[in-house]
Structure 1
């Protein structure tokens, strides 16, 4: 008996400081959801695990300014994110959070294994201290100018603008993010670190052996570059209160650094989903762990996360595929999660249904380079691609088919157009299997273009009006072929625009999630259901609703 292949799909965990903006959404969560939907259409044993990343100093800082606890703030934002992701059509197997007992237990277990295996070392660090607030400042409590790109709002751990990992001492003119004090002291303090240097050989071997598993080029090249420079121990504790306390004598006043418990959160959240099932996925050596993230999360997932798993030696599966996306940049549009302004996903789904965002953002998916997002281009995708190419085709086929149902006989089709359609479908499946989702979406569009070409070149409405038998037979063949193309479009659209797919498939008597194997069916249309719009063009009134998000 063949063993069933298992898949764990994850996306980088949304940070529970604010609702994700469009760039956050398309940079990890949306492509993960699209791929997961495809796996389920194939009938695979797959789970999609995600959740809110709740620890870290930005949350603590924001809570201080709001006069509430970090726990309350992160839980309130968690609920908002969970709700908006559901409205965005995401179908997580489980959406949990990192500040949970399940994750805490998992973090402690892995930490103890790393310590016993000799990969946790004690370090003496120089850490910023603010005499005004009378506290050590974790890296994200420190703001300054990036020495690499000159960005003036770089954090003490990483520059948001260029992505470089930093230390507070590298910042130019650093200051306290709580009170603005520019006269920071740097005092010595003890911490615990993951000995990445001792693990570097095994991490490099992991990268070399896994990089051919559909890793993106940026994941491979940047990781190998870091490995060539040499890995150094990286702190996993900080002088902070918000986080899981360190369960080791002498370090009780410290908590785990957010990056450490966040990546372990993939396991902890799965455990929160099901204590009885999580090990069936995470400890099955044949499970494929497919991870999606933006390029700012690359180092944590290609080196540190595998290093944790290898060093702990608890037989958890290592990442099989790592898909790293570039940035979706706002071109004339305000969106900044950290600054709390602009078009986030909460505002997006208030403006238009989720299908419009899912389709357009996947159309713009920044797979190989940064991509610009503008309101103008978004409207063009909706109006000219979604509506004109797909929606209009579906509507015309349903209308002509319904009006001439009586002269459509048999199942004979136009062999040439069906052959082309089958070729496009094969390419769609191949692109999805290679986890090239944007290419797969373009195959959906290509199929709609084929349908429109058949429609315009044959003009079936004229054949329907002709009285001779040959014309009617030709009309029947063409409409059977167009019926098949529309049906196939309904199935192929499902991962990208599930509501639109459901509208199309409803005309074929289908409800719920379709299956890839259904593409081979020859369905009939329920002509008792009048055709309705699948997509609609964005009106001038709707266009004006975007104005508050456009930079003046």
Structure 2
């Protein structure tokens, strides 16, 4: 039996993630994990806060606190927000933990002894005003590839290109804002990706058919064609893990290095006795979700670490990278204050509505704009009108006519249609086409709405003394009630609260399993029927306007 490790790119503890971060990594990972759990698979969902790096240093300096204080404070806020969003991590940890530090040192030692750590001489920016070397994210300038004016020295947030500080046009120091910058030589340690290139290419060629995003395939292949180079794993910074090697003890490990290793470190933090059962099992499938700006780290550097350790660690099976969710035509950005974050959005709407709308707009193959108008349309016309109203109408009719409803089961023709939709739902989940799976759920409601409109069971109520009409009424209601039941089961990955509310009418509590679809159905006709979804209120609309132009 397969095991699954499901991971999401770790949210950076500089600030609470915005909705673009959330929909590009944690939310689809959570939706997929919930489906895998419904299947009854042996799976763990591992995530945590990425707590090191210079952006945290910069924010801490501005706030007059230590980087650790900031990282811990934001970590707790992220944990709370994710819990409110009903994310069901097996464990949500952090990278600045003793267990992750131990894991980083262990893998560094493995890589060094195996000959994959090399010493390099870098040209690193030095701020003549602040009298210090600038880590890559302490320097900012214009991207030479796309012209974005706030690109960092390690990567352009806008186009995703990996950069070196010397690539930037018109660079300036992010601490003092000055442009009096020199470039000086300094020694660092690097992972020798050039030496690992053949194995990394084999890894990509072997795995890219396993539902990888097209971008996750094309980007690394492009870099491989150019030829990989050693990638620094140390920097002249103050916040991070010390480098345990003579000649480099004044440096720290680069944040990307301990962040990707954090997947293992956080698993060890969860259960030291079980982590190897997942990370060293040939039966394990490692499924990783991320935004497209994380592709390079997860398709080249991270596999390079795992391969270079020579310790039979599991390599990624599927890399699902999403495009950007944009707001007002721009990418959501914590630093630029664009778009709603996960905290303030929960102050406007319940998580089910946001989860549904975000997956409905999931940027699987191209950037997708997420507007307030779109959110309201999804909430009012799809969640409320198509799904909520259908569930409410069926349960209300069933409650007032329970004595005329026999065994709850589907007729052959109608059942064939519903089972076909359910099979497509499963198939779409297996291929990690989450937006399509959500549309399958909507299709179930539409099929039910079509039946209820065509059969008009409220009219049949008048002639239930007629045996033929009574049998037809019972058959129609059996079809409709099963459809409501199936929506209750299959909505769990997307809208866990609504799923629980629906299944409560059938006497089912806790996390549902797919096997329930083949079980006998018992509807509790005595329960009061309440709305599953509602339209957005005037108060909610007014709150949403705070985030519009």
Cα pair 1:61 1:178 within 8 Å, conserved? yes
* CA–CA distance in structure 2, aligned partners of residues 293 and 354 of structure 1: 21
Moved more, 147-156 or 190-199: 147-156
| Equivalent residue, structure 1, for 2:189 | 192
1:75-224 alignment, distance < 5 Å: 75-224=72-221
Secondary structure of the structure 1 residue equivalent to 2:394: helix
Deviation by residue 1:369-396 (Cα, 9 ceiling, x = unmatched)? 1101000011000111101111000000
Secondary structure of the structure 2 residue equivalent to 1:529: coil
| Equivalent residue, structure 1, for 2:429 | 432
| Equivalent residue, structure 2, for 1:510 | 508
| Equivalent residue, structure 1, for 2:531 | 533
Moved more, 432-441 or 407-416: 407-416
Gap change, CA 1:212 and 1:360, over 3 Å in 2? same
| Equivalent residue, structure 2, for 1:310 | 307
Cα pair 2:408 2:481 within 8 Å, conserved? no
Specify which of 66, 70, 80 is matched with residue 69 of structure 1: 66
Gap change, CA 1:364 and 1:436, over 3 Å in 2? same
Cα pair 1:413 1:476 within 8 Å, conserved? no
Residue 154 (structure 1) shift: 1.0
1:261-272 alignment, distance < 5 Å: 261-272=258-269
Deviation by residue 1:23-81 (Cα, 9 ceiling, x = unmatched)? 00000000000000011111111000000000010001111111110000000000000
Deviation by residue 1:450-480 (Cα, 9 ceiling, x = unmatched)? 0000000010111121142111110000001
Cα pair 2:325 2:331 within 8 Å, conserved? no
Gap change, CA 1:244 and 1:509, over 3 Å in 2? same
Cα pair 2:120 2:188 within 8 Å, conserved? yes
| Equivalent residue, structure 1, for 2:328 | 331
* CA–CA distance in structure 2, aligned partners of residues 524 and 328 of structure 1: 42
| Equivalent residue, structure 2, for 1:18 | 15
Gap change, CA 1:258 and 1:206, over 3 Å in 2? same
Residue 165 (structure 1) shift: 1.0
* CA–CA distance in structure 2, aligned partners of residues 359 and 447 of structure 1: 15
1:247 equivalenced with 2:244 (yes/no): yes
Specify which of 411, 420, 423 is matched with residue 423 of structure 1: 420
Residue 340 (structure 1) shift: 4.3
Cα pair 1:490 1:504 within 8 Å, conserved? yes
Moved more, 460-469 or 36-45: 460-469
Gap change, CA 1:416 and 1:239, over 3 Å in 2? same
1:439-518 alignment, distance < 5 Å: 439-466=436-463, 467-518=465-516
Cα pair 1:124 1:189 within 8 Å, conserved? yes
Moved more, 291-300 or 143-152: 143-152
Moved more, 242-251 or 341-350: 341-350
Specify which of 256, 259, 263 is matched with residue 259 of structure 1: 256
Gap change, CA 1:215 and 1:488, over 3 Å in 2? same
* CA–CA distance in structure 2, aligned partners of residues 211 and 220 of structure 1: 6
Cα pair 2:324 2:331 within 8 Å, conserved? no
Residue 525 (structure 1) shift: 1.3
5+ residue gaps, structure 1: none
* CA–CA distance in structure 2, aligned partners of residues 392 and 462 of structure 1: 18
Q: TM-score, normalised by structure 2?
A: 0.98
| Equivalent residue, structure 2, for 1:9 | 6
| Equivalent residue, structure 1, for 2:229 | 232
Gap change, CA 1:402 and 1:174, over 3 Å in 2? same
1:285 equivalenced with 2:243 (yes/no): no
1:382 equivalenced with 2:391 (yes/no): no
Gap change, CA 1:70 and 1:23, over 3 Å in 2? same
Residue 335 (structure 1) shift: 4.5
Secondary structure of the structure 1 residue equivalent to 2:123: strand
1:371-410 alignment, distance < 5 Å: 371-410=368-407
| Equivalent residue, structure 2, for 1:47 | 44
Specify which of 518, 521, 524 is matched with residue 523 of structure 1: 521
Cα pair 1:343 1:549 within 8 Å, conserved? yes
Cα pair 2:488 2:500 within 8 Å, conserved? yes
5+ residue gaps, structure 2: none
Deviation by residue 1:287-339 (Cα, 9 ceiling, x = unmatched)? 11000000000010011100111011121100011000000011279942123
Deviation by residue 1:465-499 (Cα, 9 ceiling, x = unmatched)? 11421111100000011110000000000000000
Deviation by residue 1:161-215 (Cα, 9 ceiling, x = unmatched)? 1111111111111111001121101110000011000000000000000111111
Secondary structure of the structure 2 residue equivalent to 1:366: coil
* CA–CA distance in structure 2, aligned partners of residues 263 and 334 of structure 1: 24
Cα pair 1:334 1:550 within 8 Å, conserved? no
Residue 139 (structure 1) shift: 0.6
* CA–CA distance in structure 2, aligned partners of residues 165 and 334 of structure 1: 18
Cα pair 2:194 2:227 within 8 Å, conserved? yes
Moved more, 43-52 or 467-476: 467-476
Moved more, 505-514 or 158-167: 158-167
Gap change, CA 1:171 and 1:463, over 3 Å in 2? same
Residue 524 (structure 1) shift: 2.1
